[in-house]
Amino acid sequence: MDPAQNPESTSSDPAFGRADLSNCEREQIHLAGSIQPHGALLVASEPDLTIRQTSANAPELLDLPDNVLGKSLTSLDGNLAERVKGHLSAQLDEIPVAVRCRIGRNGNLFDCLIHRPPGDGLVIEAERAGDPVDLSDRLETSLKRILNASSLPDLCDEAADIFKDFVGYDRVMVYRFDPDGHGAVFSEKKEPDLEPFLGNRYPASDIPQIARRLYEINRIRVLVDVNYEPVPLLMEEGQAGDASLDMSLSFLRSMSPIHIQYLKNMGVGATLVASLMVAGKLWGLIACHHYRPRFIHYEMRAVCEVLAEAIATRIAGFESFARAQSEAAVRRMEQRMISAITRRGDWHSALFDPPTALLETVNASGAALLFEGQTLTTGEVPGTHKLRDIAAWLDERRDGSVFETACLGEVLPDFQPLKAVASGLIATPVSDTPGEYLIWFRPEQIRTVTWGGNPFKPVEVGNDPADLSPRRSFSQWHQVVEGTAERWRPADRAAVRMIGASVRDVVIQFRSVRALIARDQLAQVCEQVRASELPVVVVDAEGAAFLVSQSFRDMTGARGEDIRTVGDLPGLFEDPEQLAWRFREMMSDRRSWRGEVQVKSALGHAAPLLVRTDPVYTSKDQVLGFVILFIDLSARKAAEDARRRFQATIIDRTRKLNGRLENEEDLVYRNLMSSIVENAQLAALDVADGVDPERMPDVLESIELSIKRAADLLSHLVEHAADLDAG
């Protein structure tokens, strides 16, 4: 989201440089109105290319007349206008384009980055031209190292090492955000004499939300010298520049004075920060610190951004692989439960057999099932009375399929005495009936957390009460944390969500089975089946329709008298002859069947459905009847479509890469893109195996966007490298 269009912004938000620590969360840092002095900035209108704003240092740095405001770029010495005109038809609102040109009376060589900010105008930022970067060797080797990483920690270590080698900063950290927004140094490479920061945690307040949004837009940010003097932007007649100029994409943009003070307090002299965007969200940062001023030219910044995209893509694959392992365990559990129902009329034992399976899937120390007034447990759990209190409390806040906390006693002090076994809790409902849950527990984990400075003392007041600054001490501060369990991982949440969905399906099937076994005693159960959101039809051994859920009637438009036997079902679906044959085979062979069906288009339900039929046996293996479930495949089909689109994108890019090579630059581009595409394919395989179908299209789309961004960056970089002698 564009920070300038943030709906939460109000007129009371502090202007750039006017914030203190009480309101820096809302400081309008994208409206800086000034730049760092190692470059110069021009803003030109389109299509006439009239200069409407300049940085105050532009005449001296670019060797231009004292006042170029109101003049056209075409009037300037050099070939800037010519080079800019060649890119006016390009999309310039996401990734700036670099051109190498000569500017000024002495024809000095500059790299100029061009982009369009929200609103009108064209922003041109100039820096002294840098030396070429070896694209064909070092970058390709680094991409291969990213591809070959064997685990997430290994990947982050490689990332820190690669960045340290490329940019040469004194310290490089891979900084990972947790669900609360706090950050931790996950990996680090540094000069031997520096104090290690590995493992240090920093509070979420250190990086305000508006800054995080800017990290999502502008993926590489460089601060050359913390002691720089900001250069103001000027308008007509030398007035201060328009404060509404959105500088979100500007690489020269001034940084917040509070952030500058923060870095000074750490002793840092210069920084480079690369964003790691995973599945469309800011997963973390690669933060590079130098203890003296340091300038990084465009070519190296572009290389860093390409590397960051490849690293983020690989992270998505590793996180999806963890979910895939959880899903495999859940599917095995589901099969055991279904088999137990159809053979023994019982599923509880299969859920807890073996007991370790239920615990290991989410790395829990205890688990409890509360169902129809009964409580089944395994491992270390609270007493039955407390379990029921927890279920009642969950009923009050039931707003989704999964609830989790790592500090139950903090969320609800009444449960504080349970911290030895239940500091951590994650739960999912197993039916629509109140009080019926699967709950996992983790014990209190007393541990020492190392913070980079005291997070509970973020402000110090000097002799002047208005003299506020960030924490002045960044020595390690150790906090003993009690009453908190190990946090639940995304893979744990995914596993709980899948187990919950499976058990809810099984519960409906179980209640359908019981309705067949004792229909005269289970009127309440029958009503629960009828009211289920899952379309279900229950028929007896002769095929007479015994129970039809309301959701099935709503889906097909069938009235009560329309469904008397299993033979009435095919007429509600496309290809009724095929379905009728399947049902006849089910009745004669007494066996399960799985297939895909489609409700007749005239009935309005367009989504494909998975039909699942299972026979129900007595203890003597006599068939009592059949449970026929209809499961909406919309999410799965969307996932398959997304996978096909993704593969088509990969094939198209591969075909283009294998096309005719016109010059050496084409070969460099092809080799580098091959590594990026290979990395993306590997991540996509992990995603396809590990992400639940509803999320898969979004995750694959994020990988596609990452490939496109990397391809655009590489294209700009290769073209720029081939144009070093422009002008």
- Over residues 282-297, the pLDDT tens digits come to 999 999 999 999 999 9
Q: What is the pLDDT of residues 589-599, one digit of tens each?
A: 888 888 888 88
Task: Reduce the DSSP state of residue 652 to 3 states and report it.
Answer: helix
Res. 312: pLDDT tops 70: yes
Least confidently predicted of 132-136, 475-479, 554-558: 475-479
pLDDT for 106 equals 85
Mean pLDDT of the region 214-218? 87
* pLDDT level of residue 229 (50, 70, 90 thresholds): very high
Res. 482: pLDDT tops 50: yes
Q: What is the pTM of this model?
A: 0.66
Mean pLDDT of the region 251-264? 86
Q: What is the pLDDT of residues 204-214, one digit of tens each?
A: 777 778 888 88
pLDDT for 192 equals 92
> Which tokens hold the place of 190?
């540094």
Q: What is the pLDDT of residues 513-556, one digit of tens each?
A: 666 655 444 455 566 666 667 788 888 888 998 788 888 888 88
pLDDT for 288 equals 95
Q: What is the pLDDT of residues 699-715, one digit of tens each?
A: 777 777 777 787 778 77
* pLDDT level of residue 191 (50, 70, 90 thresholds): very high
User: 34-128: what fold?
Assistant: Beta-Lactamase (3.30.450)
Give me Rg for the CA atoms of the chain: 31
pLDDT for 317 equals 80
Mean pLDDT of the region 236-260? 76
d(CA 320, CA 311): 14
CB atoms within 10 A of CB 441: 27
pLDDT for 471 equals 47
Q: What is the pLDDT of residues 657-701, one digit of tens each?
A: 555 445 666 667 667 777 777 777 666 666 655 555 666 667 777
Mean pLDDT of the region 335-343? 63
Res. 475: pLDDT tops 90: no
- The CATH code that applies to domain 347-446+486-504 is 3.30.450.270
Decide the pairing of beta strands 447-452 and 403-405: unpaired
Q: Which residues are CB-neighbours of 666 under 8 A, at least 6 positions away?
A: none
User: 3-26+131-308: what fold?
Assistant: Beta-Lactamase (3.30.450)
- Of 445 and 198, more confident: 198
Q: What is the pLDDT of residues 24-37, one digit of tens each?
A: 555 566 676 889 99
- Of 411 and 324, more confident: 411
Task: Reduce the DSSP state of residue 239 to 3 states and report it.
Answer: coil
> What share of the chain has pLDDT > 70, as a percent?
72
Secondary structure (H, E, C), 38-77: CEEEEEECCCCCEEEEEECCHHHHHCCCCCCCCCEHHHCC
Q: What is the pLDDT of residues 418-462, one digit of tens each?
A: 888 888 889 989 888 888 899 999 888 755 455 455 555 555 544
Least confidently predicted of 114-118, 283-287, 399-403: 399-403
pLDDT for 374 equals 83
Secondary structure (H, E, C), 263-321: HHHHCCCEEEEEEEEECCEEEEEEEEEECCCCCCCHHHHHHHHHHHHHHHHHHHHHHHH
pLDDT for 1 equals 37
Res. 177: pLDDT tops 70: yes
pLDDT for 418 equals 84
User: 532-632: what fold?
Assistant: Beta-Lactamase (3.30.450)
pLDDT for 163 equals 94
* pLDDT level of residue 607 (50, 70, 90 thresholds): confident
> What share of the chain has pLDDT > 90, as a percent?
16
Place of tokens 């940010």: 221
> Which tokens hold the place of 347?
């599923």
